[in-house]
Amino acid sequence: MKADSEMNAEKPSKAANSTTAQPSTKAAGRGLEYRIALAFGFMSFIPILLLVWAMLNQIDLSVVIILVAFSAFVGYFLIARRMVKSVLTIVDSARAVTSGEKPKTVELTDQNELGELARVFNRITHDLEHKVEELESSRQLVKRLLSRIGTAIVSYEGIDQILSLILENAAGALDAQLGSLLLVDGEKQELYVKMSWSRDGVSSAPGYRPKLGEGVVGWVSREGKPMRSTAKPENLGFTAGSGGEGAVLCVPLKLREHSLGVIAVLRERADKTFTEDDESLLGSLSSQVAVAIENYRLNLDMERTYVETIMALAIAVEAKDPYSAGHSKRVGFYAMHIGKQLGLDAETQRILNDSGVLHDVGKIGIKDEILLKTSALSPEEAKIMQQHAVIGQAIVKPVRSLHKVGDLVHYHHEKFDGSGYPAALKGEQIPLGARILCVADSWDAMVTDRPYRKRLPIEHAKEELRKLAGKQYDPQVVTAFLRFIEEREANKASHSESSLAGNDPSSDIST
């Protein structure tokens, strides 16, 4: 494809050379006007000569007519036919272009106006072909970009992943070596680097925070207008000395005239300036990015409100029963520490804490006469009560940030030997987090007063856990929990109680 276009590219230049030779063509007297005059001569002047010659020599009129017709035919055949053929060739090529066929070069070597017309036509079709190729290439680029962005949205893991993908692909598409996405810190009236991409692994400068109006990125953000200029990599938030001045294109991230930040891309070579088309492409993309960022922020606010509502529900459930006050918070605390003992990462520990706080939120859907009943539940009532695990999952799971919490809430009453509910899962079929919750929940129930019994002494409760390890509880979870309790007891013995006060929800119970 490229070779073709390069070959074709030579033709117009030859044509252009021929164009410059036009005055000499005219001087040689071989222009279209000359040819028409010649044809006119054959078709009118020569018949007159023939008539004169026939009259002088008393030649038969029919012979004269034949000779006149013959000379007209020769005139057409030698001159007019060639002109008509040239015009038809150009017309055919023009028709082919308008019907969407690939333009063909018109092969006319005439050194006259028709030849010049053919060369101009070739130049136009070549330019057209070049533009079509450019458009096709842009179309493919946009298609690839949309496809990649689409894939990222399907496997959506967060706004950062999408922004990173957009930045990388936009910079790559624009043949840039560096790209940055900076957001506005409204409080400080500064920009900070949200995302950066480098083709050659140039690292971003930590703490780069230009003021609004400062440098290219600051100016674009404050003015809300795109800019094509030159800048050094450090002006886009990359480490100082990572390159010389290059060509930069910076567009604002604007939403309803409100500046959210900028996207900037940089080419290493300052002479490889960005075009208006490049600016337009990045501008379109930036509008979408601005909408995505705003939606993400709105969703985050909405989700935060929903999480707060669920947390309030969990507290409301506890408030119904004075015996369970603080229970959920303590279960979260224990679950988090069991996770820590088992070497689970910080994110999983956070999930365990949230799961503990929310594990019984589904009780909001259970009637008070069952929920607050102090005597033993009938089999029907017990069945209704068991629904709280399923209801709890239904409340929690729609929240993206609590998605994993939903499963743990669902299975927190499953038992290691398969005798639990609601799914009677067994052993490792039960999610580890749910096995942890089960131990934490049971422990807190054992060591606190209940309407139907007094709290168990700590040693008795420990013994109970050991006894039921492998039956009701996962043995490794029991071991981890007992280790936590023992470490805590040792810690209490060597430090003052106040060291845990304030952030230890279990401080109201004795271990």
Question: What is the nearest approach in angstroms of Fe ion to the Cβ of residue 408?
Answer: 11
Among 228-236, 333-341, 352-360, 491-499, which window interacts with Fe ion (CB under 5 A)?
Answer: 352-360
- In the complex with Fe ion, the residue whose CB is nearer, 360 or 414, is 360
Cα–Cα distance for residue pair 174/279, rounded to 1 Å = 10
User: Which uninterrupted H or E stretch holds 198?
Assistant: strand 190-198
Question: What is the nearest approach in angstroms of Fe ion to the Cβ of residue 189?
Answer: 50
Cα–Cα distance for residue pair 445/456, rounded to 1 Å = 9
Question: What is the nearest approach in angstroms of Fe ion to the Cβ of residue 412?
Answer: 6
User: Using omega within 30 degrees of 0 as the cis cutoff, is the peptide bond preceding 422 cis?
Assistant: yes
Q: Helix crossing, 475-494 with 327-341: angle to 10°?
A: 100
Q: Return the bridge partners of 255, or none.
A: 258
- In the complex with Fe ion, the residue whose CB is nearer, 278 or 360, is 360
Question: What is the nearest approach in angstroms of Fe ion to the Cβ of residue 314?
Answer: 11
User: Which uninterrupted H or E stretch holds 315?
Assistant: helix 276-320
Q: Taking Cα atoms as reference points, which of 252, 249, 276, 248 lies closest to residue 262?
A: 252
- In the complex with Fe ion, the residue whose CB is nearer, 64 or 468, is 468
Question: What is the nearest approach in angstroms of Fe ion to the Cβ of residue 387?
Answer: 11
Q: Is 357 exposed, middle or buried (CB count within 10 Å of its CB: 0-12, 13-18, 19+)?
A: buried
Q: Report 265-284 residues binding Fe ion (CB under 5 A).
A: none
> Does 360 engage in binding with Fe ion (CB under 5 A)?
yes
Q: Return the bridge partners of 14, or none.
A: none
User: Which uninterrupted H or E stretch holds 437?
Assistant: helix 432-446
> Does 318 engage in binding with Fe ion (CB under 5 A)?
no
> Does 444 engage in binding with Fe ion (CB under 5 A)?
no
Q: Taking Cα atoms as reference points, which of 115, 130, 124 lies closest to residue 17?
A: 115
Question: What is the nearest approach in angstroms of Fe ion to the Cβ of residue 409?
Answer: 8
- In the complex with Fe ion, the residue whose CB is nearer, 360 or 474, is 360
Question: What is the nearest approach in angstroms of Fe ion to the Cβ of residue 329?
Answer: 14
Among 116-124, 308-316, 360-368, 423-431, which window interacts with Fe ion (CB under 5 A)?
Answer: 360-368
* CB-based burial, 244-272: b 16+ in 10 Å, e otherwise: eebbbbbbbbbeeeebbbbbbbbbbeeee
Size of the site for Fe ion (CB under 5 A): 1
Ramachandran class of 74: left when φ > 0, alpha when ψ lies in -120 to 50, beta otherwise: alpha
Question: What is the nearest approach in angstroms of Fe ion to the Cβ of residue 469?
Answer: 20
Question: What is the nearest approach in angstroms of Fe ion to the Cβ of residue 495?
Answer: 33
- In the complex with Fe ion, the residue whose CB is nearer, 388 or 404, is 388
Cα–Cα distance for residue pair 156/295, rounded to 1 Å = 14
- In the complex with Fe ion, the residue whose CB is nearer, 360 or 407, is 360
Cβ(181)–Cβ(163) below 8 Å: yes
Q: Is 365 exposed, middle or buried (CB count within 10 Å of its CB: 0-12, 13-18, 19+)?
A: middle
Among 125-133, 148-156, 358-366, 500-508, which window interacts with Fe ion (CB under 5 A)?
Answer: 358-366
Cα–Cα distance for residue pair 237/265, rounded to 1 Å = 11
- In the complex with Fe ion, the residue whose CB is nearer, 359 or 404, is 359
Among 355-363, 373-381, 394-402, 420-428, which window interacts with Fe ion (CB under 5 A)?
Answer: 355-363
- In the complex with Fe ion, the residue whose CB is nearer, 191 or 314, is 314
Among 96-104, 357-365, 427-435, 443-451, which window interacts with Fe ion (CB under 5 A)?
Answer: 357-365
Question: What is the nearest approach in angstroms of Fe ion to the Cβ of residue 318?
Answer: 12
Among 214-222, 310-318, 354-362, 377-385, which window interacts with Fe ion (CB under 5 A)?
Answer: 354-362
Q: Taking Cα atoms as reference points, which of 240, 242, 238, 236 lies closest to residue 220?
A: 236
Cβ(101)–Cβ(129) below 8 Å: no
- In the complex with Fe ion, the residue whose CB is nearer, 205 or 364, is 364
- In the complex with Fe ion, the residue whose CB is nearer, 110 or 360, is 360
- In the complex with Fe ion, the residue whose CB is nearer, 194 or 413, is 413
Q: Return the bridge partners of 184, or none.
A: 191
Question: What is the nearest approach in angstroms of Fe ion to the Cβ of residue 389?
Answer: 6
> What residue is closest to Fe ion based on CB?
360
Among 182-190, 331-339, 356-364, 478-486, which window interacts with Fe ion (CB under 5 A)?
Answer: 356-364
Q: Which residues bind Fe ion (CB under 5 A)?
A: 360
